[in-house]
């Protein structure tokens, strides 16, 4: 990317992870929630090295002259990334230590071997005997293959022998609760470290240090699949991740260089693969740590999902949707309504056919049970399963085969495109004709993630939407090459063009002296053509206001750098207790506003290489509701941070106004709407 026009996506992604780290450092965030933000940071960084850094490393194998022509400077970029990560990792360790100190004041302790009393030592001795068989031991000279993401100790004995000892955190709880007063825990790592001599030959241990290896997560499939279905190729290739190219060896920074050299030779990795870190790795395990105390201030106050004013009360969900479009908001409202929609279709004698696209399938859920019930009841069920949903491939493919075995028509992804849309269509016999009911969302059909991801979903029976969605499913079934669309935006067919035309229309209106405004919320902004269009809009005086949770390659120019009459692009990002995941696009359109929601970000892959579906909001009441919610997010002054030229992540200036924490304000807004609806009936 041109350094003067666009930010590098991977470098800017680190700015997003910095915002997560800032929440972990925030003293107003409950202590155990701060640990969970550390878990998110750790999990994010692991995936970043497995996927993005791995791709940068692969570029190094390209001839230098070709890389120069492609403007791909992987070495320079990689060095910058590693410098930022190193600084963040050091702050991570300091923040964790601070949190542990504060938790100790609340009678919650993380102990090491030096802190144990006799009762706890006896407990751990017995405990270790129960897990010792799960601790792997490999000689360094045997060049062992360490598993991706696995936790290990590098152990050096006095006679020069060196070993890698596996910590079985994938089998046993990472945090071992100890007996005694208060609430005391010990890392499983420390339990193993206390007993290393029991796992090795009887030679004094000279030193031991923790480490973790991350490997390339890409599945390098052959272009020619022959007669083997793509899903089977992917399923068979999943083991590649266990032995893929190393992308990061994270080690205890106290480890001397002499041991690092032994490790490099044993694992056959380079200096560039080594990253100093803290004593503990894989701290995404903090997700599993619940509140053991009776102190409610250590966690967020419970926020139970609200019932939907209409769909949670109806005895006939199809009649309710037919009467009026319905909008749902997760996690503020219950995901039950989506499950009820599919369950009702499974049981309804008038329903002929259920069609649905599944990107990340839960291991077990009401929704999958409902689809199986529909098959049992003799209904047609067509399911589009994304076999290339990274890290969910195995579960998705296994579920796809279960559906097939029970009679569903299952379509797995094709080699060069992903089905990322969140759509469902129910065909029902009414008055001797087929009536269609649609659901189009911004998030996955997954009850578990709906409790932590902020998403929106539209139920509608309007023919202008359902007829288009029928076209989309016909295209997915390979019955059509290009869908004939009137209302929906569907990538890779018309989404880019509609968005670009909408931006150009705002530019035209602004130049004509008319009000012009673009408001958009998305996960990531990377596509250069879309960014260029926003630059033109800004120069033309269009008000551009963006909420971008993740990385953003657009560089917002200050007003003094704009042409005469230009308006600066304002970008904020919200990181709070829930993950902002909804995509909302709003164009002023000279007063006849147009709003879309759906699955696509403004990234090249979402516009050109994935099946994405976005729906216009046609119902005025729903339009106003979604607009109100968007306004609350635009006005967040508590958890929003500015995305500027310097990636400063500075908090939004609250000014003289009352503080607005949008995620809490949205819950209160929907609760008030629910109460108003109850009073009205």
Residues 604, 621: Cα–Cα separation, whole Å = 32
| β-sheet bridge partners, residue 460 | 438
Residues 606, 421: Cα–Cα separation, whole Å = 10
The mean pLDDT value of the chain amounts to 90
Predicted local confidence at residue 226, as pLDDT: 45
- pLDDT tens digits, 306-343: 999 999 999 999 999 999 999 999 999 999 999 999 99
The CATH class of 491-680 is alpha beta
Burial (CB count within 10 angstroms: exposed 0-12, middle 13-18, buried 19+), residue 421: buried
pLDDT reading at 23 higher than 80: yes
HEC assignment per residue over 305-358:
CECCCCCCCCCCHHHHHHHCCEEEEECCECCHHHHHHHHHHHHCCCEEEEEEEE
Predicted local confidence at residue 389, as pLDDT: 57
User: Who has greater pLDDT, 143 or 74?
Assistant: 143
Predicted local confidence at residue 415, as pLDDT: 63
- Mean pLDDT over 494-503 rounds to 98
Predicted local confidence at residue 391, as pLDDT: 59
Q: How confident is the model at residue 671 (pLDDT cuts 50, 70, 90)?
A: very high
- Catalytic annotation, pick one of 340, 420, 456, 588: 420
* CATH fold group of domain 9-292: polyphosphate kinase like (3.30.1840)
CA–CA distance from 671 to each of 170, 373, 479, 574, 667 (Å)?
40, 33, 44, 22, 6
DSSP 655: T
Which helix (H) or strand (E) covers residue 450, if one does? none
- pLDDT tens digits, 405-415: 999 999 987 66
Predicted local confidence at residue 565, as pLDDT: 77
Q: Which residues neighbour 13 within 8 Å (Cβ) at sequence distance 6 or greater? A: 48, 52, 550, 551
Half-sphere exposure (Cβ direction) of 566: Cα atoms closer than 13 Å: 18
User: Who has greater pLDDT, 417 or 205?
Assistant: 205
Structure tokens at 407: 């009679």
Predicted local confidence at residue 180, as pLDDT: 85
Q: How confident is the model at residue 564 (pLDDT cuts 50, 70, 90)?
A: confident
Q: Which CATH superfamily is domain 317-485 in?
A: Endonuclease Chain A (3.30.870.10)
* Closest among 540, 480, 535, 484 to 510, alpha carbons compared: 540
Predicted local confidence at residue 243, as pLDDT: 56
Predicted local confidence at residue 395, as pLDDT: 81
- Mean pLDDT over 296-300 rounds to 96
Helix (H/G/I), strand (E/B), else coil: 168: coil
pLDDT reading at 55 higher than 80: no
In the chain, % helix, strand, coil (3-state, to 5) comes to 40, 20, 35
pLDDT reading at 155 higher than 60: yes
Predicted local confidence at residue 50, as pLDDT: 77
- Mean pLDDT over 656-660 rounds to 86
Predicted local confidence at residue 239, as pLDDT: 55
- pLDDT tens digits, 88-137: 999 999 999 999 999 999 999 999 988 999 999 999 999 999 999 999 99
Predicted local confidence at residue 223, as pLDDT: 47
Burial (CB count within 10 angstroms: exposed 0-12, middle 13-18, buried 19+), residue 209: buried
DSSP 577: S
- Mean pLDDT over 436-457 rounds to 95
- Mean pLDDT over 650-677 rounds to 93
Residues 96, 635: Cα–Cα separation, whole Å = 31
Predicted local confidence at residue 413, as pLDDT: 74
Q: How confident is the model at residue 48 (pLDDT cuts 50, 70, 90)?
A: confident
Tell me if domain 317-485 and domain 491-680 are identical in fold.
Answer: yes
pLDDT reading at 150 higher than 70: yes
DSSP secondary structure letters along 235-274: HHHTTHHHHSPEEEEEEETT--HHHHHHHHHHHT--GGGE
Predicted local confidence at residue 386, as pLDDT: 83
Predicted local confidence at residue 654, as pLDDT: 79
Q: How confident is the model at residue 70 (pLDDT cuts 50, 70, 90)?
A: very low
- Mean pLDDT over 446-465 rounds to 96
Helix (H/G/I), strand (E/B), else coil: 156: strand
Structure tokens at 90: 């050091």
HEC assignment per residue over 49-110:
HHHHHHHHHHHCCCCHHHHHHCCCCHHHHHHHHHHHHHHHHHHHHHHHHHHHHHHHHCCEEE
Residues 19, 649: Cα–Cα separation, whole Å = 7
Residues 520, 537: Cα–Cα separation, whole Å = 13
> Has 581 been annotated as catalytic?
no
pLDDT reading at 388 higher than 80: no
Which helix (H) or strand (E) covers residue 443, if one does? none
Burial (CB count within 10 angstroms: exposed 0-12, middle 13-18, buried 19+), residue 432: exposed
CA–CA distance from 30 to each of 37, 300, 383, 463 (Å)?
11, 6, 42, 48
Structure tokens at 205: 């241990």
- pLDDT tens digits, 342-357: 999 999 999 999 999 9
pLDDT reading at 361 higher than 60: yes
> Considering the entire predicted model, what is its pTM?
0.91
Predicted local confidence at residue 310, as pLDDT: 97
- Mean pLDDT over 474-496 rounds to 94
Residues 56, 34: Cα–Cα separation, whole Å = 31
With b meaning 16 or more CB within 10 Å and e meaning fewer, what string describes 437-475? Answer: bbbbbbbbbbbebbeebbbbbbbbbbeebbbbbbbbbeb
pLDDT reading at 144 higher than 60: yes
Domain ranges of the chain: 9-292, 317-485, 491-680
Helix (H/G/I), strand (E/B), else coil: 112: coil
Tokens 């006896």 identify what position? Answer: 122
- Mean pLDDT over 43-70 rounds to 66
Predicted local confidence at residue 365, as pLDDT: 86
Structure tokens at 289: 């740590």
Q: How confident is the model at residue 679 (pLDDT cuts 50, 70, 90)?
A: confident
């Amino acid at each position: 990317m041109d350094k003067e026009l666009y930010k590098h996506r991977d470098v800017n992604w680190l700015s997003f992870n910095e915002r997560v780290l800032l929440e972990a450092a925030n003293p107003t965030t409950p202590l155990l929630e701060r640990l969970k933000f550390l878990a998110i940071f750790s999990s994010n960084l692991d995936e970043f090295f497995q996927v993005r850094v791995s791709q940068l490393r692969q570029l190094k194998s390209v001839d230098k002259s070709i890389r120069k022509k492609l403007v791909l400077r992987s070495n320079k970029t990689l060095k910058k990334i590693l410098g930022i990560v190193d600084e963040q990792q050091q702050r991570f360790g300091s923040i964790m230590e601070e949190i542990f100190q504060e938790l100790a004041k609340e009678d919650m302790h993380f102990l090491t071997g030096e802190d144990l009393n006799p009762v706890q030592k006896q407990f751990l001795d017995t405990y270790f005997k129960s897990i010792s068989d799960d601790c792997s031991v490999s000689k360094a000279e045997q060049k062992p293959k360490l598993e991706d993401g696995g936790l290990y100790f590098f152990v050096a004995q006095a006679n020069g022998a060196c070993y890698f000892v596996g910590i079985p955190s994938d089998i046993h709880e990472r945090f071992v609760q100890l007996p005694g007063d208060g609430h005391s825990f010990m890392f499983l790592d420390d339990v193993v470290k206390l007993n290393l001599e029991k796992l090795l030959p009887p030679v004094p241990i000279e030193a031991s240090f923790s480490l973790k290896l991350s490997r390339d997560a890409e599945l390098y499939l052959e272009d020619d699949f022959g007669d083997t279905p793509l899903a089977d190729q992917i399923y068979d290739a999943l083991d590649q991740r266990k032995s893929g190219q190393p992308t990061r060896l994270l080690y205890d920074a106290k480890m001397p260089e002499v041991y690092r050299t032994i490790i490099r030779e044993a694992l056959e990795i380079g200096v560039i693969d080594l990253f100093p870190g803290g004593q503990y790795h894989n701290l995404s395990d903090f997700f599993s740590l619940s509140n053991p105390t009776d102190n409610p201030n250590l966690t967020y106050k419970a926020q139970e999902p609200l019932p939907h004013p209409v769909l949670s009360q109806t005895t006939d969900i199809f009649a309710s949707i037919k009467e009026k479009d319905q909008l749902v908001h997760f996690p503020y409202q219950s995901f039950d309504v989506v499950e009820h929609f599919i369950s009702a279709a499974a049981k309804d004698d008038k329903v002929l056919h259920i069609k649905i696209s599944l990107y990340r399938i839960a291991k077990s859920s009401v929704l999958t049970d409902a689809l199986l019930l529909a098959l049992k009841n003799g209904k047609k069920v067509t399911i589009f399963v994304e076999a290339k949903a990274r890290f969910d491939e195995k579960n998705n493919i296994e579920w796809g085969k279960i559906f097939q075995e029970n009679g569903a028509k299952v379509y797995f992804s094709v080699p060069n495109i992903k089905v990322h849309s969140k759509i469902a269509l129910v065909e029902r016999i009414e008055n001797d004709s087929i009536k269609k009911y649609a659901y189009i969302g911004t998030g996955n059909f997954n009850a578990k993630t709906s409790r932590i991801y902020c998403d929106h979903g539209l139920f509608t029976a309007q023919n202008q939407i359902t007829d288009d969605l029928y076209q989309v499913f016909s295209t997915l079934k390979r019955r059509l090459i290009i869908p004939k669309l009137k209302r929906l935006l569907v990538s890779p067919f018309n989404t880019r063009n509609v968005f670009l035309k909408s931006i150009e229309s705002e530019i035209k209106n602004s130049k004509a002296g008319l009000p012009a405004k673009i408001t958009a919320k998305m996960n990531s902004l990377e596509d250069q053509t879309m960014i260029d269009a926003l630059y033109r809009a800004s120069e033309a005086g269009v008000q551009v206001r963006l909420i971008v949770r993740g990385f953003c390659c657009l560089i917002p120019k200050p007003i003094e750098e704009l042409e005469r009459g230009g308006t600066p692009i304002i970008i904020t990002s919200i990181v709070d207790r829930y993950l902002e995941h909804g995509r909302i696009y709003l164009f002023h359109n000279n007063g006849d506003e147009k709003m879309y929601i759906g699955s696509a970000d403004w990234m090249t892959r979402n516009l050109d290489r994935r099946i994405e579906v976005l729906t216009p909001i046609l119902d005025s009441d729903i339009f106003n509701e979604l607009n109100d919610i968007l306004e609350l997010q635009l006005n967040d002054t508590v958890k929003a941070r500015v995305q500027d030229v310097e990636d400063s992540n500075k908090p939004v200036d609250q000014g003289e106004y009352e503080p607005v924490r949008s995620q809490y304000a949205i819950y209160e807004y929907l609760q008030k709407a629910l109460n108003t609806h109850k009073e009205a009936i």
